[in-house]
Structure 1
Amino acid sequence: MPEPLSPTDLSAHFAGLDLSKPVARSTSSTDPFFTYARPETHGVHVSKVQVEMRDGVLLAGELHRPANPDGSPAPGRFPGIVYEFNGYNAVSFMAAGARAFVTRGYVVLVCSVRGSGDSPGEIDPFGPQEQRDNVDLIEWLGTQPFSTGKVGQMGVSYGGHTALLAAVHQPEHLTAVIAAQALSDWYEDTIYLGGGIYNNRIRGWQSDTAPATLETYPRHPLYDDYWRDRSVRARWDRLDVPVLDVGGWLDQYRNAMVKNFQARPENVWMVAGPWSHGTLPGQFEDIATAAYLAWWDHWLSDDVPGLLPETRVTSYEMPDAGWRQYSTWPPAQAREDHLTFAPGGKLVAGPAEKATEVFDVETGALLAETESLPADLVLAGTPFVDLRVAFTADEGYVAVILEDLGPDDEVSRVTHGFLRASHRAGNEVRVPVEPGTPYDLRVPLWATHHRFKAGHRLRIRVASRDEGVIDSDSPAGTVTVHYGPSTFTYQAIG
């Protein structure tokens, strides 16, 4: 599972790409929104800026304005975009990706967050001060003499989350948002991975981007006001501007994309592609600049109508079945079904014999799989596993991995979920775990849209370790899983 996007990741995704114009046919989608294009009308004028915040601090950045043929700023008023507000000290580099919008009549402001790049102060990713600064940037851009007063904000990963956090503050001039590979909740989506287990790979990002959080975050192992202050989920009721929430079924934040849509289906459009974490240019089925320009033209431009997606949800059916469009998510036609864990390492329809299996916390796992499928099975939703388990220690970690097994036993990971037993009542309180006592635990897996082909099998791996993904500090001992009451529930099409 990848970390949040870093400057190195940005370089890898942008290297060698021509970001100067929309790519009109880089996707197999037939929706005109994803192949939208119009010609360039301006050049680009770049100036260094320092934007004053309400407390007098100056954030450093660049202003990219539509330009005349001689390079001078074009006269008139233009809509604005706050672009990639993040802590990666790469303003000029990232601003290159905005050229396609500037040359088509948008003013783009790119600034480093407080404490990064040339912006003074201490960095606190997604903290209250950073959010206030973001609002000030939007209002500054919306009140400039070259502005129409309509401002959008967009970004990927860090920049996507700052855009959503700005939106819940409801700035006067913020008109719409594009959030790519973004979050709904920093605690659940990234730091503690939904069920109270620390993300094993996040410390490298913390060390590179915000070292102070290596001490701060462990002081808040439960979900408290510290995390609520950094959360979109905690303020979904205030997320009322149009949002294009773009994510990937191979991305660590796909749950956030789904949750944001389900919380605000009246003003969020969800686009889920075959993408891993990072910027879309250069990835398979790249819809990036074309769709983004269509969105901005629709919401910000007074001169061209732009477009919206033909449906509220556009999703790529993994691994290779192509684009599908739905009015909601899970799709209205999806049915809920379940399989039961049965002795002999089986997943079966209907009840199963009551029995138990024991595995070692450090080295073991329980494996359960279906028979070969007689026909294709498409999972489309957020599956979950109900387990009756007991631990020999006073704490237990549960990692559940859903896999696709081909006829040749080739294995691919489809989705997964994690839960710390002491967090079984939620992440706001820790409840005791009595050794030897069976507990009924529900482990939500991350959302998925995946076609298991005929002849393939579904396999579920239950363990206490998932190396390289979650911390492996669960107490030593064994885990007992009860067959019969343990089930896998999923939403399926067809």
Structure 2
Amino acid sequence: MATMHEESTEVDGITVDRDVPIAMSDGAVLRADVFRPTEAGHYPVILAMGPYGKGLHLADGYPANWRRMNEAFPEVSEGSTGRYQNWEVADPEKWVPDGYVCVRVDSRGSGRSPGFMDILTAVQTRDFYESIEWAGVQDWSNGKVGLLGISYFATNQWQVAALRPPHLAAICAWEGFADHYRDGGRHGGIACEFVRGAQARQMVTVQYGMGSRGPVDRNTGLPVGGDVDLDDDTLRENRRDLYAEVQARQLDSEFYRERSADLSRIQVPLLSAGNWGGMGLHLRGNVEGYLGAGSELKWLEMHGDTHFSPFYNDRGLALQKQFFGTFLKDEQNGWLERPPVELLVRHPGEKFEPRFEHEWPIARTEWTELHLCPETMELRTSPGASGTLSYDPLREDLRFSLPPADHDREFTGPSALKLRISSATVDADLFVSLRLLDPDGTEVTFIGSNDPKVPVALGWLRASHRRLDAQKSEPYRPVHSHDRIEPLVPGEPVDVDVEIWPTSIVVPVGYVLQLGIGGRDYSNEGTDFENAMYTMTGVGPFTHNDPVDRPAEIFGGTVTVHFGAEASSYLLLPAIPAS
């Protein structure tokens, strides 16, 4: 039944149905905007559901990102007025003319959908399922629904695909995490502060009930956060404090499992698109999502650049349309002949070399143990001297360098660091980085998904979480169980394995790859630009500075790395031989 704000308009061959009600089985009603061809017919559906406000224009909510994307890729605005652009979802003006219907749903408690805001829960996943099934039986639908979107709009795809909605035909999870604990909530057991800022910046501002105090939809003039004004106390009562939950839950638990996907249950064709510079949230999830999905037809693509440009630029759009054309339109467009893995192999200077592979990790990988040599601070293929090196974890780190070679060297894949350490206290947080230095010794950084200057790779581990899941771990990809806390005995050495998230880098002649080991976030000189949502020093919003989670009296104690015949400390790198 229509509400006073449910309406339809037609502009340039696109019919827009706004605030369409979708009734949930428990009586809740979600609101959706539907963009469809004006000409009657049965069309495949591209659907997304999330908490960022379907009526918030990308340029209004994220002006710096909008400007940077259009400056770097003017093609994003070619063939589109941009009037319907929305954060991290498809531009209808690029899809509807090709015979698709685009549906955007405000998730429960967000935008113009009433309810309790509690993201990525079983309730919300069921809402997503029912929204897919609603879209699959509408008069304008051909019965095939595909899911497309970045970040949040990718993460919940893993979850709902595991429920196997009958009308779900394919998913494209673009830079979206899969494991709520390991990929974003707690890196190696260390609380990541991202969700606290993201909830305040991007969700609370468009929560249902913000009404006239929130942003306005530039196309309708209506409040993005619903037509009612709720007071601050009521708004707080209508949402879960996500970061408080992360603070309270040091170990993996049902809270994190509910917000993670059972990847093995996914059966639909899928394309997982990850970003080498996505350290801190999505990179690991795109690889693990691809590996863990039960789908017979699945593809992995890995790129670079920002969090949004590769999704909207011509290359990304063509990739998405070829994929969905195959599974939503039954097109014979060559996608099924495509190898399962495409890697944009990264070189310094934001240069990428596309290359297809048949598996991940790459079968021809030469797993290379580079030993940490304390006498020279080098990485060598043979062990160095015995001894120890100590550091103040909150003020300094240790640096070990791989000497330059007379030929280019490629490292593409997951990495791991094995160490024997001791601490002056009962615990230690290990922050690991891989950096690239040019022949002058200056660090070379890369455009990352959420920071314009990121290193080659990052890894984290809380020493008291060192226990491995033996069934899931590989030498190149340690997986920690995070099911118990095992305090250190001050001064007593223990062996730890640190997972370093996947990467790709070609180290040119004369360049140096450097390993950093410390007890604080990687940091560079930082980057300033207008309308920045957070401070950028190389890790974007993925910081770990919470004194509740990391009290200085525990995590500020001196850490010692041990070397010797019985204490082998080495970096395991995925060397790719020259073809």
TM-score class normalised by the smaller sequence: 0.7 to 0.9
- 1:87-486 matched pairs, under 5 angstroms: 87-91=51-55, 93-94=85-86, 97-193=91-187, 195-208=188-201, 209=203, 212-232=241-261, 235-252=262-279, 253-264=282-293, 266-281=296-311, 287-302=315-330, 304-308=331-335, 310-319=338-347, 320-343=351-374, 344-412=376-444, 413-425=455-467, 426-466=481-521, 469-472=542-545, 473=550, 475=554, 476-484=556-564, 485-486=568-569
Distance of 2:311 and 2:571 partners within structure 1: 36
Residues 249 and 276 in structure 1, CA contact (< 8 A), matched pair in contact too? no
Distance of 2:15 and 2:138 partners within structure 1: 16
Residues 33 and 104 in structure 2, CA contact (< 8 A), matched pair in contact too? yes
Residues 260 and 268 in structure 1, CA contact (< 8 A), matched pair in contact too? no
* Deviation by residue 1:328-355 (Cα, 9 ceiling, x = unmatched): 1121211111110112311111121111
SS at match of 1:64: strand
Task: Quote the offset at 1:403 in angstroms.
Answer: 0.9
Residues 33 and 54 in structure 2, CA contact (< 8 A), matched pair in contact too? no
2:22 is the counterpart of 1:51:
yes
Distance of 1:111 and 1:201 partners within structure 2: 24
Distance of 1:490 and 1:291 partners within structure 2: 30
Task: Quote the offset at 1:43 in angstroms.
Answer: 2.2
Moved over 6 A (4+): none
Distance of 1:191 and 1:276 partners within structure 2: 21
Distance of 1:415 and 1:427 partners within structure 2: 22
Distance of 2:177 and 2:429 partners within structure 1: 24
- Relative distance call for 1:90 and 1:145 in structure 2 (3 A) is closer
Task: Quote the offset at 1:141 in angstroms.
Answer: 0.6
SS at match of 2:290: helix
Task: Quote the offset at 1:104 in angstroms.
Answer: 1.2
Residues 247 and 275 in structure 1, CA contact (< 8 A), matched pair in contact too? no
Q: % of aligned pairs identical?
A: 28
Task: Quote the offset at 1:250 in angstroms.
Answer: 0.9
What letter corresponds to residue 189 of structure 2 in structure 1?
A: G
Calculate the TM-score normalised by the size of structure 1.
0.85
Distance of 2:273 and 2:17 partners within structure 1: 30
What letter corresponds to residue 310 of structure 2 in structure 1?
A: L
- Relative distance call for 1:96 and 1:393 in structure 2 (3 A) is closer
* Deviation by residue 1:163-192 (Cα, 9 ceiling, x = unmatched): 221101100110100111111112211111
**Runs of at least 5 residues in structure 2 that lack an aligned partner in the other structure:** 1-11, 56-83, 205-239, 445-454, 468-480, 524-538
Residues 195 and 243 in structure 2, CA contact (< 8 A), matched pair in contact too? no
Residues 157 and 171 in structure 2, CA contact (< 8 A), matched pair in contact too? yes
The 10-residue stretch of structure 1 (90-99 or 133-142) with the greater mean CA deviation from structure 2:
90-99
The 10-residue stretch of structure 1 (198-207 or 290-299) with the greater mean CA deviation from structure 2:
198-207
What letter corresponds to residue 230 of structure 1 in structure 2?
A: R
Task: Quote the offset at 1:78 in angstroms.
Answer: 1.4
Distance of 1:363 and 1:216 partners within structure 2: 29
What letter corresponds to residue 325 of structure 1 in structure 2?
A: F
Residues 376 and 452 in structure 1, CA contact (< 8 A), matched pair in contact too? yes
Distance of 2:170 and 2:311 partners within structure 1: 22
Task: Quote the offset at 1:200 in angstroms.
Answer: 3.4
Residues 90 and 148 in structure 2, CA contact (< 8 A), matched pair in contact too? no
**Runs of at least 5 residues in structure 1 that lack an aligned partner in the other structure:** 1-41, 68-73
The 10-residue stretch of structure 1 (131-140 or 355-364) with the greater mean CA deviation from structure 2:
355-364
Task: Quote the offset at 1:100 in angstroms.
Answer: 1.9
- Relative distance call for 1:288 and 1:155 in structure 2 (3 A) is same
SS at match of 2:501: coil
Residues 191 and 247 in structure 2, CA contact (< 8 A), matched pair in contact too? no
Task: Quote the offset at 1:271 in angstroms.
Answer: 0.8
Distance of 2:360 and 2:345 partners within structure 1: 13
Residues 178 and 243 in structure 1, CA contact (< 8 A), matched pair in contact too? yes
Distance of 1:261 and 1:374 partners within structure 2: 36
Aligned length: 440
The 10-residue stretch of structure 1 (215-224 or 163-172) with the greater mean CA deviation from structure 2:
215-224
The 10-residue stretch of structure 1 (133-142 or 467-476) with the greater mean CA deviation from structure 2:
467-476
Task: Quote the offset at 1:262 in angstroms.
Answer: 2.0
Residues 247 and 272 in structure 1, CA contact (< 8 A), matched pair in contact too? yes
What letter corresponds to residue 420 of structure 2 in structure 1?
A: R
What letter corresponds to residue 45 of structure 1 in structure 2?
A: T
Task: Quote the offset at 1:75 in angstroms.
Answer: 2.1
Show the counterpart of 1:71.
Answer: none
SS at match of 2:497: strand
Residues 295 and 307 in structure 1, CA contact (< 8 A), matched pair in contact too? no
Show the counterpart of 1:22.
Answer: none
Task: Quote the offset at 1:206 in angstroms.
Answer: 2.5
2:463 is the counterpart of 1:493:
no
Residues 400 and 416 in structure 1, CA contact (< 8 A), matched pair in contact too? yes
Distance of 2:148 and 2:100 partners within structure 1: 13
Distance of 1:385 and 1:296 partners within structure 2: 39
SS at match of 2:456: strand
* Deviation by residue 1:244-302 (Cα, 9 ceiling, x = unmatched): 1111111132111111222237432111112232352566xx52211111111100114
Distance of 1:410 and 1:139 partners within structure 2: 54
What letter corresponds to residue 256 of structure 2 in structure 1?
A: W
Residues 181 and 278 in structure 1, CA contact (< 8 A), matched pair in contact too? no
Distance of 1:419 and 1:216 partners within structure 2: 20
* Deviation by residue 1:116-166 (Cα, 9 ceiling, x = unmatched): 101001211111111010000000011112222111111100101112211
2:158 is the counterpart of 1:78:
no
Calculate the TM-score normalised by the size of structure 2.
0.73
Task: Quote the offset at 1:80 in angstroms.
Answer: 1.4
